[in-house]
Chain A
């Protein structure tokens, strides 16, 4: 302790101005925004699990051919409507590793159905990393190695087979490629249109605003599905499946943007008056630059959250269209196309496994909803 000439006492110990800041405060003061968002998002367990699940699903899409034991349109004519085969581990008290009992079809002449009898005497091991139908890895590399395949001379229908004897499990994996990307393409289209028109309306105001607003109101007041139907009915039937797929996703996107544009516009209206916008304008920034560099980054994260919440609607939309026969058509494989087979009560009653594609639909849609909710809750880290 030293006494200064004016009589005050000063502590001799070196002073660290950082010390008075609390640990938590400092950590959060230095952290960039995304880190704060991530920290908050991490506590949202359901959203986190959904996010990881979706990320994995999308990352696996290019490798579906490797995981699926069969190719999507491979027909096993001896096994039409075969029920799901259980994978077993223990045969008569002896551990064999994963195996199945081969099934053989027998015609039931009373009900005119195929009945499938498992041969429980003859367990067959599932093969791993084996040769099978050839496919293209990520659409580029030709390969015929599969993660697992059916034993020689037997079948492996994990989730049964359909009307034409095609493996439902493999088809679901391949179907994911189209069903999951439809949402992404659609949302990109809707994102671009929504941001473009929303920011124009919000930033320019006046007549532009009025016109865009009326268009938004009109599009929003129309029921989507009949419009989807009408637009997809206009797709020429001689187009290739890939072209149809693209045009369907674009149609889904074109009818989705008004909601997004509305929220963009509302944000712009409130942000337009902020000082930093005026400052940017004073410094001579053009309209495009103010919109892109100063306004959009402010609520990009909100837009992403709301986009996440509208992807499920697109996935369901594609399913509905394909289900009604106006969306994707065979030989393209999507979950909606597969459900086309499960359209009537008879098939639900007799072959319930043909309705299995609804499981991935429900799971994916739920996951997107949880992820979107989690993102929305954690985007405002300071609250």
Chain B
């Protein structure tokens, strides 16, 4: 049951990290001078609307924005009773969005699941393309197959993904009739799940998945190729060839398994960059994920909304990294249970 112990240990460190992250996030959303309400109050006072001022002052009290910053943090997290008792992130109250004048949970709603969906699809895409391409590039090293995949890979790394998005939309629409923008047909928005809705989501997912996954896939492909090349030079490969094994079977049976480890471990690096990418791409492509919400919230200093989105994004990557760590231990018994350093 060592693996369960390790999983618990890993879960514990994740919670600790999340705690530190929450402090960091709270500090960042409080960085801009002033807050949404004090800006609004100043604006209302300038235009002489006293009724609005009273409301804003009330909200300031309601959300404890008049207290010292560390108390605000404790109340936001739910470690300390606010004006309405314990009611923070850990109690499931995500706060109030001043910009939209609605609870944060209502605004983010569906988009949380769509964010998870988009990122999962991108990860599947990364593995599905990087694995065969990396192996082929290594097995056929220094042939046109290798050079072509290296070229495509470099191009994928170098193209800013929002541009890739625009280009793919443009040509996808022109030649393949792929719908532009959004994650589903507008007709299905807010509708209950149905087969047609799932189909619509799947078709809309094609371009975002490619765009978000490309950079990660090319990086991973190159790493897999390098690992495979290292392994292919080793004597056991020669032995396998000498005893007459079919090359494809040999590849899959020996070097690939050894080269596969870093592949799983890499998800820890891959995930943050992909979540980053998905935020940017969502803004450009108009996906209903939390990316656009984050951008508007940051621009208007809607601190509880942006704080929640940042926390959610961090949580998503931390969970992904944790899963990859546990998978890695299951795959390779050589890795020590007590956390990997270096």
On A, residues with C-beta under 8 Å from B are 213-214, 217-218, 220-227, 229-231, 233-234, 236, 262, 265-266, 269, 312, 316, 319-320, 323-326, 339, 342-345, 348-349, 355, 358, 361-362, 365-366, 369-370
Task: Identify the interface centre among B170, B280, B295: most chain A CB within 10 Å of its CB.
Answer: B280
* A222 with B272: CB separation less than 8 A: yes
Per-residue contact bits, chain B 262-298, to A (CB 8 Å; 1 contact, 0 not): 0000001101110111011001100000000011001
Q: Looking at the complex, which one of A312, A326, A348 makes contact with B298 (CB distance below 8 Å)?
A: A326
* Nearest A-chain residue to B32, judged by Cβ: A234
* B20 with A218: CB separation less than 8 A: yes
Q: Looking at the complex, which one of A230, A236, A358 makes contact with B33 (CB distance below 8 Å)?
A: A236
* A326 with B299: CB separation less than 8 A: yes
Given contacts A218-B21, A220-B272, A230-B310, 16 further A-B contacts (CB under 8 A): A222-B314, A223-B273, A223-B276, A224-B272, A225-B276, A229-B295, A312-B157, A312-B158, A324-B283, A326-B298, A339-B163, A349-B170, A361-B158, A362-B155, A365-B158, A369-B157
* Nearest A-chain residue to B301, judged by Cβ: A233
**Which residues on A sit within 8 Å (CB–CB) of B279?**
223, 225-226, 229
Q: Looking at the complex, which one of B32, B154, B157, B280 makes contact with A225 (CB distance below 8 Å)?
A: B280
* B163 with A217: CB separation less than 8 A: no
* A369 with B342: CB separation less than 8 A: no
Q: Which 7 pairs show the lowest CB-CB distances between chains A and B?
A: A225-B276, A234-B31, A233-B298, A365-B158, A223-B275, A223-B276, A223-B272
* A355 with B163: CB separation less than 8 A: yes
A223 to B64, CA, bound (A): 29
* B166 with A227: CB separation less than 8 A: no
On B, residues with C-beta under 8 Å from A are 17, 20-21, 24-25, 28-29, 31-33, 154-155, 157-160, 162-163, 166-167, 169-170, 180, 268-269, 271-273, 275-277, 279-280, 283-284, 294-295, 298-299, 301, 306, 309-310, 313-314, 317-318, 321, 341-342
* B313 with A319: CB separation less than 8 A: no
**Which residues on B sit within 8 Å (CB–CB) of A358?**
159-160, 163
Given contacts A227-B28, A348-B170, contact A221 B272 (CB under 8 A): yes
A231 to B298, CA, bound (A): 9
Task: Identify the interface centre among A225, A227, A231, A362: most chain B CB within 10 Å of its CB.
Answer: A225
- Pull 15 A–B residue pairs with CB atoms less than 8 Å apart, ordered by A: A218-B17, A222-B314, A223-B273, A224-B276, A225-B279, A226-B276, A229-B295, A230-B25, A230-B306, A233-B306, A236-B32, A345-B166, A358-B160, A362-B158, A369-B157
A178 to B251, CA, bound (A): 47
* A362 with B159: CB separation less than 8 A: yes
A218 to B32, CA, bound (A): 23
**Which residues on A sit within 8 Å (CB–CB) of B309?**
226
* B32 with A233: CB separation less than 8 A: yes
Task: Identify the interface centre among A226, A266, A319, A339: most chain B CB within 10 Å of its CB.
Answer: A226
A224 to B28, CA, bound (A): 13
* Nearest B-chain residue to A321, judged by Cβ: B280
A325 to B299, CA, bound (A): 9
Q: How many A-B residue pairs have CB under 8 A?
A: 123
A19 to B177, CA, bound (A): 75
* B160 with A319: CB separation less than 8 A: yes
A223 to B158, CA, bound (A): 19
Return A236 CB to nearest CB of chain B, in Å: 7
A367 to B225, CA, bound (A): 21
A319 to B162, CA, bound (A): 10
A312 to B158, CA, bound (A): 8
**Which residues on A sit within 8 Å (CB–CB) of B283?**
324
Return B326 CB to nearest CB of chain A, in Å: 15
Return A205 CB to nearest CB of chain B, in Å: 12
Return A67 CB to nearest CB of chain B, in Å: 24
A365 to B268, CA, bound (A): 24
* A221 with B158: CB separation less than 8 A: no
**Which residues on A sit within 8 Å (CB–CB) of B17?**
217-218, 221
**Which residues on B sit within 8 Å (CB–CB) of A231?**
28, 31
**Which residues on A sit within 8 Å (CB–CB) of B275?**
223, 226
**Which residues on B sit within 8 Å (CB–CB) of A319?**
160
Return B43 CB to nearest CB of chain A, in Å: 15
**Which residues on B sit within 8 Å (CB–CB) of A355?**
163, 166
* B314 with A223: CB separation less than 8 A: yes
A231 to B317, CA, bound (A): 19
**Which residues on A sit within 8 Å (CB–CB) of B318?**
221
* B342 with A343: CB separation less than 8 A: no
A327 to B155, CA, bound (A): 24
* B154 with A366: CB separation less than 8 A: yes
* Nearest A-chain residue to B290, judged by Cβ: A226
A348 to B167, CA, bound (A): 8
* A343 with B284: CB separation less than 8 A: yes
* Nearest B-chain residue to A313, judged by Cβ: B273
**Which residues on A sit within 8 Å (CB–CB) of B306?**
230, 233
A182 to B69, CA, bound (A): 33
* Nearest B-chain residue to A265, judged by Cβ: B342
* Nearest A-chain residue to B272, judged by Cβ: A223
**Which residues on B sit within 8 Å (CB–CB) of A369?**
154, 157-158
**Which residues on B sit within 8 Å (CB–CB) of A366?**
154-155, 158
Return A238 CB to nearest CB of chain B, in Å: 10
Q: Looking at the complex, which one of B29, B160, B170 makes contact with A361 (CB distance below 8 Å)?
A: B160
A370 to B284, CA, bound (A): 29
**Which residues on B sit within 8 Å (CB–CB) of A226?**
275-276, 279, 294, 309-310, 313
* Nearest A-chain residue to B275, judged by Cβ: A223
* B20 with A320: CB separation less than 8 A: no
**Which residues on A sit within 8 Å (CB–CB) of B158?**
312, 361-362, 365-366, 369
* B163 with A230: CB separation less than 8 A: no
A347 to B327, CA, bound (A): 46
Task: Identify the interface centre among A217, A231, A320, A323: most chain B CB within 10 Å of its CB.
Answer: A320
* Nearest B-chain residue to A259, judged by Cβ: B269
A341 to B268, CA, bound (A): 35
A365 to B155, CA, bound (A): 9
**Which residues on A sit within 8 Å (CB–CB) of B280?**
225, 320, 324
**Which residues on B sit within 8 Å (CB–CB) of A265?**
342
* Nearest B-chain residue to A343, judged by Cβ: B284
A230 to B276, CA, bound (A): 12
**Which residues on B sit within 8 Å (CB–CB) of A229?**
279, 294-295, 298
* B321 with A221: CB separation less than 8 A: yes
